[in-house]
Structure 1
Amino acid sequence: MQVNVRFDNNRAILALNGNFTFEFHREFKHATTSALQHPGLSDIEIDFSAVDYMDSAALGMLLLLNERAAGKKITLVNCKGTVKSVLDIANFGKIFEIR
């Protein structure tokens, strides 16, 4: 799993690539911590277009990010297939905007 971070004004865009599982927790935390330290950050967009699978640990990582984001808007984009199903079953649409 890889994560590429880029910034567009006050928005951090994290593009995930690979299976989003527990083995990825260090990389994900490092990338999100770095993004959250960006001056003026108001939005975080996580792009799932290159992710085909996520496990329950990934759900936990997203919840922890939501806590650490302290009110910043988090949007999950390009969710498809199994990833979309997992997010729907977990009712993550009530916590995050999913597009």
Structure 2
Amino acid sequence: MSVTSNRSPDEQQLTIKIKGRFDFSTHQDFRGAYEKETKAKRYVVDLKETNYLDSSALGMLLLLRDHAGGERADVRLENCSADVVKILAISNFSKLFTIGK
């Protein structure tokens, strides 16, 4: 498991990549990837290499959304596997986030 983040050259977007399991064990690393961010207007969570997602991960995504501005937030979940899309759909996250396969 690893969480990495990087800003776009114009500092308008923060991309957070999660490799492996996205569960409570990633909480501190995931939060650390964005909590000091003040310039980003867009957030992308790249789940291309995520092979597991649980309810604590869903909670962490909601915390990121709150940090990014709540209802006004531009948070995208990208490169989601079919299994991850299914979990997000069951949780109605498609109403809160832009989800890409």
What TM-score do you get using the length of structure 1 for normalisation? 0.90
Alpha-carbon separation, structure 1, partners of 2:90 and 2:73 = 24
- C-alpha RMSD over aligned residues: 1.1
Alpha-carbon separation, structure 2, partners of 1:30 and 1:88 = 26
Match of 2:92 in 1: 91
- The superposition leaves residues 5-57 of structure 1 with CA deviations (integer Å, 9 ceiling, x where unpaired) of 111121111111111001111111111213x23x3x11000100000110000
Gaps of 5+ in 1: none
Gaps of 5+ in 2: none
CA contact (8 A) 1:52 1:81 kept: no
Match of 1:7 in 2: 7
Match of 1:67 in 2: 66
Q: How many residues matched?
A: 96
Q: Which runs of 4+ in 1 moved over 2 A?
A: none
1:47 aligns with 2:49: no
Q: CA deviation at 1:81?
A: 2.8
Match of 2:25 in 1: 23
Q: CA deviation at 1:72?
A: 3.1
CA contact (8 A) 2:4 2:18 kept: yes
Secondary structure at 1:6 match in 2: strand
One-letter identity of the residue aligned with 2:13: R
Alpha-carbon separation, structure 2, partners of 1:76 and 1:28 = 14
What TM-score do you get using the length of structure 2 for normalisation? 0.88
Q: CA deviation at 1:80?
A: 0.7
CA contact (8 A) 2:15 2:43 kept: yes
One-letter identity of the residue aligned with 1:50: E
Identity %: 33
Q: CA deviation at 1:85?
A: 1.1
